[in-house]
Amino acid sequence: MTLPEFAYFNGKIVPWNDTKVHVFSPVAKYGIGIFEGIRGYWNPAEEQIYLFRLRDHLERYAFSQKAMRFDAGPSDGELTQALIDLCRANQFRTTVHIRMMAFIDEMGEMGATGPVGTAITALPRATTKQVSAGASAQISSWMRMPDNVMPARIKCNANYHNSRLAVMQAQRDGYDVALLLNSRGKLSEAPAMCVFMVRHGQLITPGATSDILESITRQTVMEIAEEYLGLKTVERDVDRTELILAEEVFYCGTGAEITPVTSVDRIAVGSGEPGGITRRLQHLYLDLVTGDSKDHPEWRTAIY
């Protein structure tokens, strides 16, 4: 991977290799950090990078810190300026994935609430090949951890241990992605993605109390499905066998965008090809994030 020249670290744009924490800091010892993954979409015609739904990411970033009882960090204005400065310093002219992280630095106890460090990286990130070809999914034997164990709603570094176990199992078993069930045996989410299905023409996704991260892409899919396709999403429990009955299944997230799932446990979803509603949602989504569509300007923050 080609690394960028600069990163943001505790108030300054610094050379990439200057973003260091101590190996015995709480963030390294216990994963005591929270983060956001944000995409900046390059629009070649306008020579512009648009950050997608930055306000919503900042809101979730603030919630994660509040739930973790972190001391106050930089303001939303300072963070927005940092993102802009970082993309400009690296002179990006491509689609990027930004990771913005607040973490407990220095030597500290498990219950330390500060000092809070801030680090931001931006790396070029293209769309995966699964977005067009579709992905094979495995129902993981790992369970999504419940809210009163490790809340998935908080975007905390340590939560990704659960996701990683499922990723490793799926990869070693020859699948593209894992789907996790929750402690009630109902569909929860995928590692870094939320899941939708189309059944009887209806768009359905596990509800917000299914041990999911309240995904911004999930919210966007629900909004654009209603606005442009007249489809109102039903949020309800989803059984694993419904994924076999479904006409279409897809997962979504900032990194994954909207990716069709073409098989679950090697059983074809629908015809085994990406579905029509999934394809329409993909096109609507990509037009909005890149600014090719001028609708919803409130969702795009320009870098240049």
**Closer CB to ligand PMP, 64 or 108, in the complex:** 64
Alpha helices (H) along the chain: 26-30, 54-67, 76-89, 130-133, 160-172, 216-229, 242-245, 276-290
Measured CA distances, 3 to 20, 102, 124, 282 (Å) = 15, 21, 9, 29
Nearest to 224 by CA among 276, 273, 179, 289: 289
- Taking the C-alpha atoms of residue 275 and residue 273, their distance in angstroms, rounded to an integer, is 6
**Closer CB to ligand PMP, 105 or 189, in the complex:** 189
Mask for 146-185, x = binds ligand PMP (CB under 6 A): ------x---------------------------------
Amino acid type, 98: I
**CB-based contacts of 285: which residues, under 8 Å, 6+ apart?**
217, 220, 221, 224, 257, 258
- With contact defined as beta carbons under 8 Å apart, do 157 and 103 qualify? yes
**Closer CB to ligand PMP, 198 or 212, in the complex:** 212
Q: Which of the residues 180 through 209 are near ligand PMP (CB under 6 A)? A: 189, 192-194
Rounded to a whole number of angstroms, the minimum distance from the CB of residue 152 to ligand PMP is 6
- Taking the C-alpha atoms of residue 44 and residue 1, their distance in angstroms, rounded to an integer, is 23
Contact segment (CB under 6 A) with ligand PMP among 85-93, 211-219, 258-266, 288-296 equals 211-219
Rounded to a whole number of angstroms, the minimum distance from the CB of residue 71 to ligand PMP is 24
**Closer CB to ligand PMP, 6 or 140, in the complex:** 140
Q: What is the radius of gyration, based on Cα positions, of the chain?
A: 19
Q: Which of the residues 218 through 237 are near ligand PMP (CB under 6 A)? A: 218
Active-site residue identified among 20, 66, 129, 155 = 155
From candidates 73, 253, 274, 275, binder to ligand PMP by CB under 6 A: 253
From candidates 54, 101, 216, 249, binder to ligand PMP by CB under 6 A: 216
Interaction between residue 21 and ligand PMP (CB under 6 A) = no
* Annotated catalytic residue 155: yes
Which amino acids are annotated catalytic? 155
Q: Which residues bind ligand PMP (CB under 6 A)?
A: 37, 152, 189, 192-194, 213, 215-218, 253-254
